[in-house]
């Protein structure tokens, strides 16, 4: 009887010991399964978020490769014979290259002036904690652009600057300058004060310490602000529509030529929209690592 009881206790302890040995393994398997489920849900969410912009991008390119008959066909044609006639018409027949040069000059000029004025302004706001000025700049960026049109138009018409790069670059500063300042404030706030103090001890003045010490630390932020400001200026339509002319017409306004009172040239519109998208897209792909670092980590001391 005693032997049977001892055998039962031994069996129970063996089972408990075996279960105890299996629990960590089961927990590991459960943890792995949970991790795979979370990863799967993450990728599903990414795919769902990307479907809409990718579909729009696909529809834009396919419209440029279709004839007018294919573009207005009902139901829409998914399979068609592609043609590059729309792209040839946009590039050669519509003088689209000249409009692209105008857009580049305006965007580059607006970004360059915004960096020249905005970087010292952002550094001053961050260093001296001028939060009210920063908030004022943000509010000015939120004001609808149409409210600036009439004063700008009257001023530039009086100065005879309509259809000039000066007028377009100046108006685009309303878009780019507040954005550069507001983005760079956060980066300058993360710069250690000891860096500037060390530069002053070594004999550098304010300008030298700002250019050779502070700016290299926040270069990721400068890249990020520059690229995004360039894209905003490149895509600006309203100011260019009112203040540009035959000599300074930009690509967003040139696309508007494909829409007339009697019809919409869907093929030319799709081709022109594709060509407009290419420069910012290529620019972003080339320096995407700087943009990602700037948007995720802020100012990085290396």
Q: What is the pLDDT of residues 92-133, one digit of tens each?
A: 767 788 888 999 999 999 999 999 999 999 998 888 888 777
List the CATH number of the domain containing 244.
1.10.3720.10
The one-digit pLDDT tens for each residue of the chain (302 residues) are: 445 554 444 445 554 554 445 455 555 556 667 777 778 788 888 888 888 888 888 888 888 888 888 888 888 777 788 888 888 888 876 778 888 899 999 999 999 999 999 999 999 888 888 877 777 777 777 777 778 888 888 999 999 989 899 999 999 998 899 889 988 888 888 888 788 778 778 777 878 888 888 888 888 888 888 888 998 899 888 888 888 888 888 888 888 778 777 778 888 888 888 888 888 887 777 776 666 665 555 444 44
230 with 170, same domain: the answer is yes
Is 66 a domain residue? Answer: no
Range of the domain at 30: 2-50
100 with 25, same domain: the answer is no
Question: How many domains are contained in the chain?
Answer: 2
- CA dist 197 and 188 (Å) reads 15
130 with 32, same domain: the answer is no
Predicted structure pTM score: 0.76
| CA-based nearest residue to 172, from 79, 222, 268, 238 | 238
Is 72 a domain residue? Answer: no
């Amino acid at each position: 009887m005693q032997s049977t009881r001892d055998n039962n206790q031994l069996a129970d302890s063996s089972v408990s010991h075996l279960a105890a040995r299996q629990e960590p393994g089961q927990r590991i398997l459960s943890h792995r399964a949970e991790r795979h489920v979370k990863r799967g849900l993450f990728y599903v969410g990414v795919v769902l978020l990307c479907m809409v912009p990718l579909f729009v991008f696909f529809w834009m390119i396919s419209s440029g490769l279709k004839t007018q008959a294919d573009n207005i066909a009902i139901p829409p044609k998914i399979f068609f014979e592609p043609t590059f006639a729309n792209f040839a018409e946009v590039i050669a027949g519509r003088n689209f290259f000249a409009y692209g040069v105008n857009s580049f000059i305006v965007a580059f000029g607006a970004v360059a002036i915004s960096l020249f004025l905005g970087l010292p302004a952002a550094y001053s706001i961050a260093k001296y904690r001028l939060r009210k000025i920063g908030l004022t700049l943000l509010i000015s960026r939120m004001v609808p652009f149409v409210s600036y049109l009439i004063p700008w138009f009257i001023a530039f018409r009086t100065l005879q600057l309509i259809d000039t790069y000066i007028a377009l670059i100046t108006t685009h500063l309303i878009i780019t300058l507040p954005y550069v300042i507001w983005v760079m404030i956060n980066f300058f706030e993360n710069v250690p004060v000891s860096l500037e103090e060390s530069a002053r001890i070594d004999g550098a003045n304010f300008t030298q310490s700002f250019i050779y010490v502070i700016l290299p630390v926040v270069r990721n932020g400068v890249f990020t602000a520059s690229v995004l400001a360039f894209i905003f200026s490149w895509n600006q339509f309203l100011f260019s529509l009112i203040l540009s002319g035959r000599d300074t017409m930009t690509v967003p306004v040139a696309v508007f030529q494909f829409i007339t009172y009697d019809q919409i040239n869907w093929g030319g519109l799709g081709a022109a929209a594709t060509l407009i998208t290419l420069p910012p897209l290529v620019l972003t792909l080339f320096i995407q690592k700087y943009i990602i670092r700037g948007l995720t980590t802020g100012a990085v001391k290396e």
